[in-house]
Structure formats: structure tokens, C-alpha cells
Structure 1
Amino acid sequence: MIQSAPSVRRTGSSSLLPGLVVVVVGVAGAMAINLAFGAVSPLMAALALGAILGNCGISTVTLAPGLAFAARRLLRVGIVLLGVQLAVPDVLKLGLPVLLLVLVTVIVTFFSTQWFGRRLGLSRDRTLLVATGFSICGAAAVAAVDGVTDSDEEDVMTAISLVTLYGCLAMVALPFAQTFLNLPEESVGIWAGASVHEVAQVVATAEVVGSAALATAVVVKLTRVVLLAPLIAGISFWRRRTAQAAGSKKPPLVPLFVGGFLAMMALRSLHLVPDDLLAPLKTAQTVLFTAALFGMGASVRLRALLRTGWSGLAVGLLSTALITLISLAGVLAVNLFN
């Protein structure tokens, strides 16, 4: 069994303090690594530092509530702030071919991953979490689906671990593949934004390639994130009907942080966010994602992943390969017709 962190909702603020202190130290360490080695983003460094903490044999029971708070709550705040970085005109500038690429990639990956999971014997809830995380936006999507389902902590942590593992592999593989494919920076940005699982992982991947890749990747990835809202609403609607039939409590139709993301996006689109606030909000978003990735890294247990059996690892591998190849095919098609 995966040893999950105690639920933050059942812990007092004092129990969060030890873990949050370690998160602050981890964020500072990640920022220092980024200053010393510019090619290593603070997000990637935080993930590595968290994974070292989680797998070095040191007991993290006392730290678990604070680490879980960073990985879950701070991540959600960061997602809300992401909305400020995206305006509807930015999405429309991508053009219809790229928007169709994103839509097709998400739909095919979501339903194909569920098919993989059923064929390989994963539970329905675990398969749903993995499918949403891999097709939309990683741990944030897993957390959102967990908010409207009855998934247990083991399913959640397994899905997050798989997203983190294969997202890290994609962070290395895409820039490496780009040297052989000789794609333009913007094309690599589209590819990364449409295929890499986490928002933070997309940023870390595109930063290695260049500024043009980064700018495009962020918009494409955030366009994927926007699709989280209708997806969660659809899952929640289905669950509400099931809950109504069973007489149990109905989940929210749209999670609060998803609504916050859309509200921030609307404010930016209506030019209600002052331009001089964009940079500080982006810095705050980076810090929040760095903290969240440190917490996520600490939650990954390599031995626990192996204990889930080959089926979970196989579903993650197949889903990652599928979304990578579909999005690459779409990028090549867009380049061909442009």
C-alpha cells in the first residue's frame, strides 16, 4: 500500500508548520540552484529536491501535512493565478489548426487512457484520475477530479506519482528529440504544451529550447487547462446523477479553483488586471508552482510505484507515448499546411 499523507482537512494549522518550513527551504534551494545553473529551472530543481527527500529513507510523517498542503492547496492557488496569464485573444491567436490539435489530443488521450486502464486491470477511479491527469494538466487535474469523485488516497497518490514520473521523462525527451527533428522553436512549444503533463513541467521543458518555445508552450498548455472546466463539469454532472440515485451527497459541479481560473482569465481578457501587476503575479505563480512541485516530488515513492505492478506503469507509458505522438503528428501537419 502507498503510505499517503494525512488529510490536510483534518489537521490543524500547527501540524502544517514543520512541512511548510521544509517546503520554504526546498523552494529557496531550488531558486539557488536556478541562480547557480541557469539551465536548471527552479521547478525542475524543486521536483528533484522533493524526490530526494521522499526517497532518502528519512521519515516524513511529521512533514506530511505541510507537504500535502503545498502539493495540493498551493498548487490550486497557482492554477487560479495562471488564469491571469491567459486572455481569450491569446488563445485565438494560436489559430484554428492548433486549437483543433489541442482538442483532438486531449479527447483521444482521455478516452484511450481509460481504455488502456480497463484492459490492463486498473480500477475505474484510478483509471479516471490517470486519464484526466495525463490528458489535461497533471496533478491539478487529478486533484480536481478527486474533488468530484470518491477516489481513495492511494488512487490519488498513484496517479500523481505516474504523472510526475512520466512528465519528468518528457521534460528530458522532448528537447533531446528536438535536436533530431530540427523543429522551429514555436513548433516545439506547441508540441510541449500539447503533450507534457504538468504546467510546471511544460515551462521547464520549453525553457530549455528557447523563449519563443516557452511563450507558445504556455499558451497552448493553458488552452489545455481551460478544457479542465468542461471535463470536470461533465464528470461532476455524471457523478451528481449517480449520487442522486444513491441518495448520497452531490459533489460540486465545478471545483472552486477551476472557477477561479476562469474568473481570472475573464478579468485579463476584459483588461481589468493592470499590466504592472502581471509580473508580480507571475512571480507569485512561479513560487507557488515551485512549492507545489517540491511537495509533489516528496510524495513520489519509487518502491510504491513498483508495488502498484506493471499495469499502472504500463498505462502511464502508453498514455504518455500516445499523447506525445498524436501531438507531434499534429505539429507536423500544422507545419505542412502553413
Structure 2
Amino acid sequence: MKYISGILVTLFMALVSFQVSSLSFCKTYQLSPLVICIVLGMLIGNLFHRSIPEGCQSGIRFSQQKLLRLGVILYGFFITFQQIAAVGMSGLFTDVLIITTTFIGGTFIGIRLLGLDKETAMLTAVGSSICGAAAILGTEPVVKSKSHQTAIAVATVVIFGTLGMFIYPFIFHIFNITAETMGIYTGATIHEVAQVVAAGNAMGSDIGATSVIVKLTRVMMLAPFLIILSFYLNRSTPDSADQQAKIVIPWFAILFVVAAGINSAHLLPQTIVNLMTQASVLFLSMAMGALGIETNIGKIRGVGLKPVILAGVLWIWLLTGGYGITIAVQQLIH
């Protein structure tokens, strides 16, 4: 019972965010309930923090931690293995190379060149590498980041992902890129699924279909990525001088793949699958709202412009290097 009041607070915020996201302005700029809910949470957390009853704190933390994992698991119902197979090896290899180079390069630049803390650098890099806010939320429990670090990373990928949504159609028309190449390039380099849908369909239905499939393949990479990252972080962080940390497997990432497998095998009616995907967005929105409440604007201000600079550098890399990787993979395979 101690969780109920806090969960209801985040549920109310999520429902408000769903309503706001249905407004024409939000639809035009593809502002998802996740993004709206974290902004709403930050407003409440910073302006009315003292008005939140102490009894709500447990439920807010429950939403931020447990519902977050559940939302990531159910996110698997957006994906099928058949969709991944449909784009072939070209889309798959492009995704793998984009994720690897962007995450490793982004983490290095963030920590070594910009002097960011490890958590902020990794979260910003993974948001650019895989699938924006959903990837950041999935990675948060693995890197054990603080609320403000996660909020900063989410804000940066929203900014640059939104820019990409408008710029990619111009790139397509100016440089006269083929539909197949543009579909793979768009899906492999734009941050959020919603942004890929908007940009892809603005260039044509064929590009839209290819870009979404490539993007969902990229989303699928989140599970193996989190498992590899978990092994790496735990092996590189010893408990003591003589004993290394116990390896922690992020089981929610494995269950994410199980959900995708169930969806691929068509074991559930489509109405149930639709319910699962809606529940995923709801739980992730609640987690974002809880995250926003726990985010102190003073901490964000203390970090400064460095995360924005890192996200900007990664965005330029995705625009330029991402296109180069897409072309190189196509030439290699074909």
C-alpha cells in the first residue's frame, strides 16, 4: 500500500502527457508522451517539490525503477524477427557498426576530451547510438546513474533527434540518394522511433517502411548491448583489491528479447499485442515522470553545456559518418 499514492501521481502525469501529445503541435513535432512527461515531472519536482507528500516517495521510486524495467520488457512487442530479416544483412551490419562506433567514440569523447562523468557520457552516447530515450532508460539501471544525469541525456537526444527529423528530407532531395540507401541511413542514424517514422514517411512510403524496420532492428540491439555493457562495467569495477565485482545480468533486457520472440511467433492476438505496446509507452512515461520529479535543475546547471556539445558532436557524426558507413556496407554486401 505504501507505493499506491506515488504510483498514482506518476500515472496521472502520464495520462496528462498522453493528452498533451495528442495536440496538433505535439503531433507535428513528434513529441511523445515520454518527452512531455519528463518535462512535466521536472516542473513539478522543481517548482512544487515541497508540496509532494513524503508518502508518495516510495511509489515515485517504484515507477522510476520497477515500472521502467517493465516498460522496457514490453517494448519488445513493437518488434518481430521477421522485420529484422526483411531488411537483410545490409541493414543489420549498418546498425551494428553505427551503434559500436557511436557508443565507443561518444564515451571516449565525453570522458577524455570533455571531462564528463562516466554515467552522463555513456547515457548520452547510448541515446545517440540506439533508440533515444528508451535506450537511456534501459541503460540507466546498468550504469547506475543519478536522476539528473539521465534527464540531461534524454534532453540532448530529443533536441538533436528533432533536428534530424527535419534535416533528413532535405538531404534526400538535395543529394538525390536512392530510396534503399536513404531508408537504411535514416533508420540507422536518427535517434527516436517516432522521429524515424516522421522523417521516413516525409520522403515516401518505401523509405518510411525501410527506415522503420532498420530502426526497430537497432532497437533490438539494446538487449545484447546491455548484457555486454553490464559484463564490462562489473569486470572493470572490483569489489576489493583481490576480488572482482559479481556479474549482474540485466534480466529485463533478456525478457525484452523474449517479448519480441513471442510477438514474432504470433502467439498472442493482435489486440493483446497492441495492449502490450500501449502499456509499454504508459510505463515508460510514468518512469520518465518519476525521473523528472527527482531531477534538480541546479544539478543540470552544474554540468553545463558539455553534454549538449557531446550530443551535437555525435549528431554530426551520425549525419556524416553514418552515411559513409551505410554506403560502405551496401557496396561490401552487394
Q: TM-score, normalised by structure 1?
A: 0.76
From 207, 210, 213, give the equivalent of 1:213: 207
Maintained 8 Å contact 2:183/2:208: yes
Deviation at 1:141, TM superposition (A): 2.5
The structure-2 alpha-carbon separation of the partners of 1:216 and 1:306, relative to structure 1 and needing over 3 Å to count, comes to farther
Letter in 1 for 2:199: T
Deviation at 1:288, TM superposition (A): 5.7
Do the aligned partners of 1:190 and 1:220 also contact (CA within 8 Å) in 2?
yes
- 2-side partners of 1:72 and 1:170: how far apart? 30
Measured against aligned partners, the alpha-carbon deviations of 1:165-185 in whole angstroms (never above 9, x if no partner) come to 222222232234334234455
- Aligned mates of 1:149, 1:156 — CA distance in 2: 10
Aligned to 2:120: 126
153, 157, 160: which one aligns with 2:154 = 160
Letter in 2 for 1:234: I
Q: CA RMSD in A?
A: 3.8
Question: 2:319 is matched with which residue?
Answer: 324
Unpaired runs of at least 5, structure 1: 1-10
Alignment length, in residue pairs? 324
| Cα distance in structure 1, aligned partners of 2:27 and 2:61 | 28
Please say if 1:147 is aligned against 2:141.
Answer: yes
Given that 1:75 and 1:140 are in contact with CA atoms closer than 8 Å, whether structure 2 keeps it comes out as: no
**2:255 counterpart of 1:263:** no
State the alpha-carbon separation in 1 of the partners of residues 65 and 176 from structure 2: 37
Name the counterpart of 1:14.
5
**Alignment of 1:28 onto 2:16:** no
Return closer, same or farther for 1:238/1:284 CA change in 2, 3 Å cut-off. closer
Structure 1 stretch displaced more, 123-132 or 66-75:
66-75
Report the secondary structure of 1:240's partner residue. helix
Contact 2:73 2:255 in 1 (8 A): yes
- Counterpart amino acid of 1:196? I
**Which sits farther off after the overlay, 148-157 or 298-307?**
298-307
Aligned to 1:5: none
Q: How does 1:253-332 map to 2 (within 5 A)?
A: 253-256=249-252, 258-275=253-270, 277-285=272-280, 307-332=302-327
Secondary structure of the residue aligned to 1:95 is helix
Q: Which residue of 2 aligns with 1:229?
A: 223
SS for the counterpart of 1:94 is helix
Instruction: Tell me which residue corresponds to 2:78.
Output: 85
* Residue 135 of structure 1, CA deviation: 1.0
Alignment identity in percent? 26
59-68 vs 136-145, which moves further = 59-68
Contact 1:166 1:317 in 2 (8 A): yes
Distance in 1, Cα, partners of 2:275 & 2:205:
19
Distance 1:132 1:293 in 2: 17
Query: Is 1:198 aligned with 2:186?
Result: no
Residue 213 of structure 1 and its aligned partner are, at CA, apart by 3.4
- Of 82, 93, 105 in structure 2, the residue corresponding to residue 100 of structure 1 is 93
SS at structure 1 position matched to 2:309: helix
Q: CA deviation at 1:27?
A: 0.7
Q: Which moved more, 1:73-82 or 1:88-97?
A: 73-82
Quote the Cα distance in structure 2 between the aligned partners of 1:181 and 1:229: 35
In 2, the alpha carbon distance for the partners of 1:95 and 1:49 equals 36
Q: Distance in 2 between matches of 1:215 and 1:67?
A: 38
What per-residue deviation string (whole Å, max 9, x for no partner) do you get for residues 134-162 of structure 1? 21222332233321234333322222222
- 2:47 maps to which residue? 59
Instruction: Compute the displacement of 1:19 (Å).
Output: 4.0
| Distance in structure 2 (CA, Å) of the matches to 1:248 and 1:334 | 39
Query: Hey, what's the Cα distance between the residues in 2 that align with 1:245 and 1:51?
Result: 37
Structure 1 pair 187/68, CA: closer, same or farther in 2 (3 Å)? farther
TM-score normalised according to structure 2 size? 0.77
